Amino acid sequence: MFASEDRAHAHASHRPDLTRVLRDGVTVHTDEELRAKHGIVVAFSERTGGVSRAPYADLNLAAHVGDDPVAVDANRHRLLASLGMALRADRLVTAEQVHGERVGVIDEAAAGSGAHVSAAGAQPVPGTDALITTTSGIPLLMCFADCVPIVLVALTPVSGIAVVHAGWRGALASLPGSAVAELANHAGCEPSDVIAYVGPHIGACCYEVDEALVSHFGNKFDTIGAVRGRLDLAAAVRESLARAGVPSSSIAELGECTREHTDRYFSYRAAQQTGRHGALAAITEGE
Ligand SMILES: [Zn+2]
């Protein structure tokens, strides 16, 4: 009796945190306590530890950038294996990311969409920049090189996860906030119960854009400063999450700039022909 009450209480909240972990040659930023207590995997990958060759070296996870499909599949398998999810490789879901505003809800029937690049199988989810599921054992993966990766987690009454790809278009359209609302709807919780992780992306330090774009953001977001020609995507993402109801104490930010760390991350601004690192989430409880 007490045990189940404790468990119910433990599911009510979690303070998100990211730790850099190297396992089986693959480096990820992950929340180990979330996995231990709630059975939910959150991981932002680095570019080392894979098999791809230049300009995609090493751990390129994206199918569309011109890399060898066999290498991409091997890299995805390495990432999943390092997270103890090699047996879920056939259920991996990826998306055709288009800098749009669509949120895709993934159920059992969609498991494995875009899982493999070099072998026949279901295609990636078309035209979608946010994936949501409440189904256990379906890893969701999105790919990045400078854009902002966001993972959202709902813990109760049912577990739910979302992976969001926010470049400037997605950030300006408040896609992160839309994903919070949709996830809360599917998990049956309040948006204020959703916790969020923001992975590596290009920082305002390096993200030079034209001033018209900065002023578009300034008109929409209170926290976008008037720094000439530079855009702080993370500020827009934070404000989008906050407006959707996510408390600032429920957001863990990695705070690393991809453009400045090309030894560990892919950066489109640094090299347009390059690979993609990943943001991955999975529900493993009940397995
Ligand atoms: Zn920078």
* Residues near 166 by beta carbon (within 8 Å), at least 6 away in sequence: 129, 147, 148, 149, 150, 175, 176, 233, 237
Distance 13 CA to ligand 1 centre (A): 33
For 62-91, b/e burial (b = at least 16 CB within 10 A) is bbebebeeebbbbbbbbbbbbbebeebbeb
Q: What is the pLDDT of residue 3?
A: 44
Q: What is the pLDDT of residue 226?
A: 64
Distance 233 CA to ligand 1 centre (A): 12
Distance 252 CA to ligand 1 centre (A): 19
Q: What is the pLDDT of residue 228?
A: 76
- How much is the pTM? 0.94
With beta carbons less than 8 A apart as the criterion, state whether 7 and 253 touch: no
Distance 220 CA to ligand 1 centre (A): 23
Strands 148-154 and 277-283 turn out to be unpaired
Residue 106's DSSP bridge partners are 133
Q: Which residue in 122, 109, 78, 123 sits closest to 280, CA to CA?
A: 78
Per residue in 80-101, pLDDT (tens digit) is 999 999 999 999 999 999 999 9
Distance 103 CA to ligand 1 centre (A): 29
Distance 206 CA to ligand 1 centre (A): 4
Phi/psi at 274 (nearest 5 deg)?
-155, 180
Q: What is the pLDDT of residue 225?
A: 72
Task: Tell me the domains of the chain and their CATH numbers.
Answer: 2-283 (3.60.140.10)
Q: Which residue in 259, 252, 270, 287 sits closest to 44, CA to CA?
A: 252
Taking the C-alpha atoms of residue 127 and residue 129, their distance in angstroms, rounded to an integer, is 7
Distance 46 CA to ligand 1 centre (A): 16
Q: What is the pLDDT of residue 10?
A: 41
SS (H, E, C) 126-172: CCCCEEEECCCCCCEEEEECCCEEEEEEECCCCCEEEEEEECHHHHH
Q: What is the pLDDT of residue 30?
A: 98
Distance 38 CA to ligand 1 centre (A): 34
Distance 31 CA to ligand 1 centre (A): 24
Low-confidence residues of the chain, pLDDT below 50? 1-11
Q: What is the pLDDT of residue 13?
A: 82
Distance 136 CA to ligand 1 centre (A): 36
Distance 202 CA to ligand 1 centre (A): 6
Taking the C-alpha atoms of residue 149 and residue 145, their distance in angstroms, rounded to an integer, is 9
Phi/psi at 138 (nearest 5 deg)?
-120, 100
Q: What is the pLDDT of residue 99?
A: 96
The amino acid occupying position 45 is: S
Distance 203 CA to ligand 1 centre (A): 5
Distance 127 CA to ligand 1 centre (A): 29
Distance 146 CA to ligand 1 centre (A): 10
Structure-token pair, residue 212: 């018209």
Per residue in 57-83, pLDDT (tens digit) is 999 999 999 999 999 999 999 999 999
Taking the C-alpha atoms of residue 44 and residue 182, their distance in angstroms, rounded to an integer, is 22
Distance 54 CA to ligand 1 centre (A): 23
Distance 257 CA to ligand 1 centre (A): 5
Measured in whole angstroms, how far is the alpha carbon of residue 279 from the centre of its chain? Answer: 4
Distance 177 CA to ligand 1 centre (A): 25
CA atoms within 13 A on the CB side of 153: 31
Distance 217 CA to ligand 1 centre (A): 19
Distance 261 CA to ligand 1 centre (A): 8
Q: What is the pLDDT of residue 120?
A: 84
